[in-house]
A and B are shown apart, each in its own frame.
Chain A
Amino acid sequence: MDPADAIVSSWSAPIVPIIGLLLFFLLYVRGWYLLQFRVPNRFPLWRLAAFVGGLATVFLALASPLDAFANLLLQVHMIQHLLLMMIAPPLLLSGAPYLPLLLGCPRWFVRDIVSPFLAWGPLQRFVKLVSHPVFAWTAFVSSNVLWHLPFFYELALSSQNWHNVEHLSFLCTGLLFWWHVIQPWPSRPVWPRWTMIPYLLLADIQNTALAAFLCFYDQVLYPTYQLAPRLWGIKPLDDQVLAGTIMWVPGSMVFLVPAAAIAIQLLSPTLHKRMPSTLATVVKTQESEFLRILRKIGWHPHASRAQFDLFRIPFLGALIRAKAFRRAMQIVMLVFALAIVLDGFLGPQTTAMNLAGVLPWTHWRGFTVIALLVAGNFFCMVCPFTFVRDLGRRFFPNKRAWPRYLRTKWFSAVLIVLYLWAYEAFSLWNSPWLTAWIVLGYFAAAFLIDGFFHAGSFCKYVCPIGQFHFVQSLASPFEVKVRTPDICSRCRTFDCIRGRNEQSGCELKLFQPKKASNFDCTFCMDCVHACPHDNVGLLAVQPGANLWNGALRSSVGRFANRADIAVLVILLVFGALTNAAAMISPVTEVFDWTARSLVLPRPIVVAVFLFVGMLVVPGALVTACTNVSRLLAKQSFTHTFSDFSMTLVPLGFGMWLAHLLFHLFTASHTPIPVFQRLLAEFFHTAKPNWAVASWAFPQLLDLQILLLDAGLLLSWYAAWKVANRLAPDRPFGVFVPWLLLGLVYFLVAVWIIFQPMDMRGMLMS
């Protein structure tokens, strides 16, 4: 590669700035799009172009070769600074970003999150202070001078974090400074317009003095550039002079051109007349003006808008709701399941060399939790056992009702405990043969139970996998839900539950208008097809909102009255911890030591561990928290226990995600050589290459901690909302026990993910 090409191609992708810029871009474009219909004269196309140009300038400064060579050449670093201080801020402000950014945000976000802050006195006073021209000018000039002092300049060069702080301070003080010059609508000028001329000229004097110092100082000011390699023989002092010249000439132009434009504007009789009339529309405070404008353009914080519907996405939406797609995916999954069974029985019994060793325990679980995180319960939708279950109905009567005393989650909760125990006690993950038996057993159970019992009894009351998905999908961002409730209120046929023509209704007896949450929903889409009004969609919802709203749910009732569901949740939440803990070396060493010392078989040791980790400790902690909360809230134990237990779902989901994604990423490529082995056995192709790459990357731990963070925060928020519902007068005391429980869980989870973990299903050298 030619050096010139290498320089031009020296771009980077700084994640945080890019995500921030993309977010602002999307919010502004959305807000501008809404505003240009309502107030087209205020938001012509050039405002959009200016704002996008400002964002592009920031991107250019932070990701282009300017950043890559800033450490080697002062002149390049100077251009980077000028872009951040003098080019990007005026462009961004020319887009009048205040209203577009607000309108670009979701309505609930503006109403519930932003609006209280905008109205908060201390924040208003702070904004008033920092947005005063004296403060803005001083901050801008100070930032410019301070960061060019050798000590601070070297500090920024030697530390990426300080370099980021420097760039951020340039951009922020630049925005403050140029705010008064650009005066973006609908802000109100603090000083008369003519004062902007000395405001700009004084800034230019400071800039000129600094530039002249750089140009005429006869020594290299910054030691880094003295030591830096001289590209093409450019001498450090020449580099410094050129940097000073860039600061002086183009830098001064940036101040002088707007100063001249303002002067011309003020001296021109026509322009001068127009200006005050524009400003006269602005009332006393920015906030009230903001409100007035919003109301004038028809924006209301409580107005409802159609929710985002996955079915409305071209092609993808039609695909997801198509019956043929679901059936095709079930067949694909069935083929995989049969291949797992056959390979489990007939293939090599080394985990990493067998489909039964790699696919179900690592990849299927990993992709399932990703689907739950980004969409919803899509595994149940394409479940291969459902396919077999449908076959069972053709062979058997399928008339009986599931026994009344088993119509709870107690039975499936017991199955979950048994499953987690067997998984560790008999190392199911390490035995393709046992894995094949489990899959076969599942097929048989689905076939027989749904062959004799109707109403999806297997899914609803038995399947432990289904219960896992039902619980975690409470924190998913999409829900099968009614689009327009009014249509349902006029409906008298109730096809979504009764069915219509050949289309059956919801067999799990979830009545759509009263469904409220993903709980017990298998995403079968029967209700979608049965509704004659096409009124059921896959709608975006606030993740976790159903954990705290206390709604009455069709076929489920209120969570507050369902201790069985609460226990199921507790088992799954603490099961996430025990399942991961059993794979880390400190715990496995304890297992081995105990088994050796007490001469006990390993299954007994594991059983004791799970009994303590999933039942005794969680039981004691949750009971203690419930007792404190119920005394303060003056509620019954069952209601308090059930309501607050649901709030732990995100915490457990975060741990499952952190754990299962670790295995998915580290063992990402392990199925490839297994498939190669099968091909080699059947078609005599090349021998498998067992040394595979993986998606593991150093920042995987960061991602795991972030997932735990998100789980903790959502759990805390849910618990706070429940506390407010149960005890509106003193929510804090009711909330504190659950705050502490969440924190303890988080710390234990972090400790676990910091430990070396078994690389299950992998061939280790």
Chain B
Amino acid sequence: MNSRLQTAFLFWLILSNVALADGGTIRLQTDTGSFHITVFTQPPILAAGPVDITVLVQNRKDLVPVMDATLALDLIPLEGTGEKSWMPPSCAMSTTPGLSAIPARLNHGENRLLYGATVQIAHSGRWGLRIHLQRASETGTAETLLTVAPPTPPPLAYWHLFALPGVCAGIFILHQIALRARKNGNSLLHLSRFKPS
């Protein structure tokens, strides 16, 4: 594979993983100004760590999606400085982005009608989410509360990757049993007996 293909594959791998947002759980539906907005979060049960927040903005009158607004999100810690979130070392290198005026952009995720941003919620507890919305001279603001659970323990978040060697070893054991059964003549298929013509 040449380097261009490898680069393209790498970017595709990275982008497709980053593109989390495709809705999620509805946190808020409200009217503000001439807009009707719906706020989704992903994962459905919020935990300290990376959270995907997406917003559908519609005209209040005819519910047609609005595609030319500017959105910003504020996350305000309300109570508690619960268990701090864990980040993979590669992410921890970057300074924690501020949790105010986070721009939410179109084309953030799979559903291109939604405005979205991935935010790093620093710790568990109750958080306020405020959405600022602007289109030309029209503005709107909406608020909701988010209850954030403690972060998933890091090893649990990667359980599927830790299970992989065990699963492969299990398949290998079955394979060896099957191989032994064939050697003992318990099967109908003896491919190894056929020599090349």
Within 8 A of B (CB), among A165-220: none
In the complex, what residues of B have CB within 8 A of residue A14's CB? 16
In the complex, what residues of B have CB within 8 A of residue A756's CB? 89, 92
The answer to whether B33 has its CB under 8 Å from any CB of chain A is no
A69 touches B111 (CB 8 A): yes
Q: Measured between C-beta atoms, what is the minimum distance from B64 to chain A in Å?
A: 6
Stretch of A226-234, A237-245, A526-534 at the chain-chain interface: A226-234
A233 to B194, CA, bound (A): 68
In the complex, what residues of A have CB within 8 A of residue B36's CB? 229
The answer to whether B121 has its CB under 8 Å from any CB of chain A is no
- Interface SS, B side: mixed
Contact string against B for A residues 693-724, beta-carbon threshold 8 Å, 1 for contact and 0 otherwise = 01111111110011001001100110000000
B58 touches A229 (CB 8 A): yes
Q: Measured between C-beta atoms, what is the minimum distance from A524 to chain B in Å?
A: 22
The answer to whether A287 has its CB under 8 Å from any CB of chain B is yes
The answer to whether B137 has its CB under 8 Å from any CB of chain A is no
Most chain B Cβ neighbours within 10 Å, of A6, A753, A759, A765? A6
Which one of A68, A298, A304 lies within 8 Å of B110 (CB-CB)? A68
B188 touches A229 (CB 8 A): no
A303 touches B197 (CB 8 A): yes
For A374, give the chain B residue with the smallest CB separation.
Answer: B1
Q: Measured between C-beta atoms, what is the minimum distance from A127 to chain B in Å?
A: 13
**Interface residues of B, CB < 8 Å — how many?**
69
A644 to B161, CA, bound (A): 26
In the complex, what residues of A have CB within 8 A of residue B192's CB? 111, 115, 301-302
A132 to B22, CA, bound (A): 39
**When A231-B65, A705-B158, A746-B165 are in contact, do A9 and B189 touch as well, CB less than 8 Å?**
no
For A739, give the chain B residue with the smallest CB separation.
Answer: B169
A6 touches B67 (CB 8 A): yes
For A69, give the chain B residue with the smallest CB separation.
Answer: B111
In the complex, what residues of A have CB within 8 A of residue B182's CB? 115-116, 119-120
Contact string against A for B residues 117-134, beta-carbon threshold 8 Å, 1 for contact and 0 otherwise = 000000000000000000
In the complex, what residues of B have CB within 8 A of residue A725's CB? none
Which one of B62, B110, B191, B196 lies within 8 Å of A115 (CB-CB)? B191
A753 touches B89 (CB 8 A): yes
The answer to whether A71 has its CB under 8 Å from any CB of chain B is yes
Q: Measured between C-beta atoms, what is the minimum distance from A674 to chain B in Å?
A: 19
A233 to B187, CA, bound (A): 63
B196 touches A304 (CB 8 A): yes
Contact string against A for B residues 160-197, beta-carbon threshold 8 Å, 1 for contact and 0 otherwise = 01101100110010110111011000111111101111
Contact string against B for A residues 281-304, beta-carbon threshold 8 Å, 1 for contact and 0 otherwise = 000010110110001001011111
**When A6-B65, A115-B189, A301-B192 are in contact, do A698 and B181 touch as well, CB less than 8 Å?**
no
A232 touches B64 (CB 8 A): yes
Which one of A695, A700, A754 lies within 8 Å of B154 (CB-CB)? A754
The answer to whether B101 has its CB under 8 Å from any CB of chain A is no
Which one of B16, B58, B168, B186 lies within 8 Å of A13 (CB-CB)? B16
In the complex, what residues of A have CB within 8 A of residue B93's CB? 666, 694, 696, 759, 762, 764
**When A288-B189, A756-B89 are in contact, do A12 and B22 touch as well, CB less than 8 Å?**
yes
The answer to whether B25 has its CB under 8 Å from any CB of chain A is yes
**When A228-B26, A233-B62, A291-B191 are in contact, do A12 and B16 touch as well, CB less than 8 Å?**
yes
Q: Measured between C-beta atoms, what is the minimum distance from B6 to chain A in Å?
A: 8
Which one of B22, B158, B162, B169 lies within 8 Å of A716 (CB-CB)? B169
A110 to B26, CA, bound (A): 49
A7 to B106, CA, bound (A): 12
B158 touches A229 (CB 8 A): no
A588 to B13, CA, bound (A): 34
A709 to B162, CA, bound (A): 8
A303 to B192, CA, bound (A): 11
B110 touches A10 (CB 8 A): yes
B196 touches A700 (CB 8 A): no
A229 touches B181 (CB 8 A): no
**When A303-B196, A316-B2, A705-B162 are in contact, do A121 and B56 touch as well, CB less than 8 Å?**
no
In the complex, what residues of B have CB within 8 A of residue A698's CB? 17-18, 50, 88, 90-91
The answer to whether A590 has its CB under 8 Å from any CB of chain B is no
B158 touches A119 (CB 8 A): no
For A291, give the chain B residue with the smallest CB separation.
Answer: B189
Contact string against A for B residues 98-117, beta-carbon threshold 8 Å, 1 for contact and 0 otherwise = 00000000100011110000
A600 to B110, CA, bound (A): 57
**When A12-B110, A288-B189 are in contact, do A3 and B161 touch as well, CB less than 8 Å?**
no
B158 touches A68 (CB 8 A): no
Which one of A288, A696, A755 lies within 8 Å of B91 (CB-CB)? A696
A119 touches B187 (CB 8 A): yes
Within 8 A of B (CB), among A296-339: 298, 300-304, 316
**When A291-B189, A300-B197 are in contact, do A712 and B165 touch as well, CB less than 8 Å?**
yes
**Interface residues of A, CB < 8 Å — how many?**
81
Which one of A7, A113, A230, A295 lies within 8 Å of B112 (CB-CB)? A7
The answer to whether B151 has its CB under 8 Å from any CB of chain A is no
B88 touches A701 (CB 8 A): yes
A662 touches B89 (CB 8 A): yes
The answer to whether A123 has its CB under 8 Å from any CB of chain B is yes
Which one of A1, A232, A288, A696 lies within 8 Å of B67 (CB-CB)? A1
The answer to whether B78 has its CB under 8 Å from any CB of chain A is no
**When A697-B14, A700-B90, A755-B89 are in contact, do A72 and B110 touch as well, CB less than 8 Å?**
no
A302 touches B195 (CB 8 A): yes
A14 to B164, CA, bound (A): 20
Contact string against B for A residues 89-115, beta-carbon threshold 8 Å, 1 for contact and 0 otherwise = 000000000000000000000110101
B189 touches A118 (CB 8 A): yes
Which one of A15, A71, A72, A757 lies within 8 Å of B17 (CB-CB)? A15
In the complex, what residues of A have CB within 8 A of residue B14's CB? 695, 697, 699
Within 8 A of A (CB), among B59-108: 62-65, 67, 88-95, 106
A295 touches B175 (CB 8 A): no
Q: Measured between C-beta atoms, what is the minimum distance from A103 to chain B in Å?
A: 13
A6 touches B189 (CB 8 A): no
A764 to B95, CA, bound (A): 9
A229 to B55, CA, bound (A): 11
In the complex, what residues of A have CB within 8 A of residue B56's CB? 229
Most chain B Cβ neighbours within 10 Å, of A113, A697, A700, A705? A697
Which one of A118, A230, A713, A753 lies within 8 Å of B165 (CB-CB)? A713
**When A1-B67, A302-B195, A696-B90 are in contact, do A705 and B178 touch as well, CB less than 8 Å?**
no
A662 to B162, CA, bound (A): 19
A232 to B25, CA, bound (A): 21
The answer to whether A593 has its CB under 8 Å from any CB of chain B is no
B18 touches A1 (CB 8 A): no
Contact string against B for A residues 733-765, beta-carbon threshold 8 Å, 1 for contact and 0 otherwise = 000000000000010001001111101001011
A123 to B189, CA, bound (A): 13
Query: Residues of A at under 8 Å CB distance from B?
Result: 1-3, 6-7, 9-15, 67-69, 71-72, 110-111, 113, 115-121, 123, 158-159, 227-233, 285, 287-288, 290-291, 295, 298, 300-304, 316, 374, 662, 665-666, 694-702, 705-706, 709, 712-713, 716-717, 746, 750, 753-757, 759, 762, 764-765
The 9 residue pairs across chains A and B that have the minimum distance between CB atoms: A119-B187, A119-B189, A120-B178, A13-B16, A701-B88, A116-B178, A6-B112, A12-B110, A700-B90
The 29 listed contacts between A and B (C-beta, < 8 Å) are A2-B67, A6-B67, A6-B112, A10-B113, A13-B16, A113-B175, A119-B181, A119-B187, A119-B190, A119-B191, A120-B181, A120-B182, A121-B181, A121-B186, A158-B25, A158-B44, A228-B26, A229-B36, A231-B58, A232-B63, A695-B14, A697-B17, A697-B90, A701-B89, A701-B158, A753-B89, A756-B89, A756-B92, A764-B93
Query: Residues of B at under 8 Å CB distance from A?
Result: 1-2, 6, 10, 12-19, 22-23, 25-26, 29, 36, 38, 44, 50, 56, 58, 62-65, 67, 88-95, 106, 110-113, 154-155, 158, 161-162, 164-165, 168-169, 172, 174-175, 177-179, 181-182, 186-192, 194-197
Assuming A68-B112, A72-B111, what are 18 further A-B pairs, CB within 8 angstroms? Answer: A2-B67, A3-B67, A6-B65, A6-B67, A12-B19, A71-B22, A119-B182, A119-B188, A121-B187, A158-B25, A229-B63, A300-B196, A302-B194, A695-B14, A696-B94, A700-B88, A701-B88, A705-B158
